[in-house]
């Protein structure tokens, strides 16, 4: 998570890579990613202290 806050860039492709070992279909992977981001996005925003994290709006 530190690289996200250091660079202030969220890379959705890395999120997909995180789920790759689970070998989910695209629908199941998408649901899992969205469920994770539902919890993770507010935490990242709080840690960013009001600064914008590029790429995070895709998950709002």
Residue 39: inside a domain? yes
Question: How is 19-48 classified by DSSP, letter by letter?
Answer: HGGGT--HHHHHHHHHHHHHHHHHHHHHHH
The pLDDT tens digits for 38-57 are: 999 999 999 999 899 999 99
Cα gap 9→21, rounded to integer Å? 23
Domain that residue 30 falls in: 2-50
Q: How many domains does the chain have?
A: 1
pLDDT of 1 reads 59
Model confidence at 14: pLDDT above 80: yes
Model confidence at 7: pLDDT above 90: no
Give the pTM: 0.78
Mean pLDDT, the chain, rounded, equals 90
Residue 57: inside a domain? no
Residue 13: inside a domain? yes
On the CB side of 9, CA atoms within 13 Å amount to: 4
């Amino acid at each position: 998570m530190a690289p996200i806050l250091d660079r202030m860039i969220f890379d959705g492709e890395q999120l997909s890579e995180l789920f790759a070992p689970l070998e989910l279909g695209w629908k199941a992977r998408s649901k899992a990613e969205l469920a994770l981001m539902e919890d993770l996005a507010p935490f990242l925003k709080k840690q960013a202290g009001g600064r914008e994290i590029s790429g995070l709006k895709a998950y709002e």
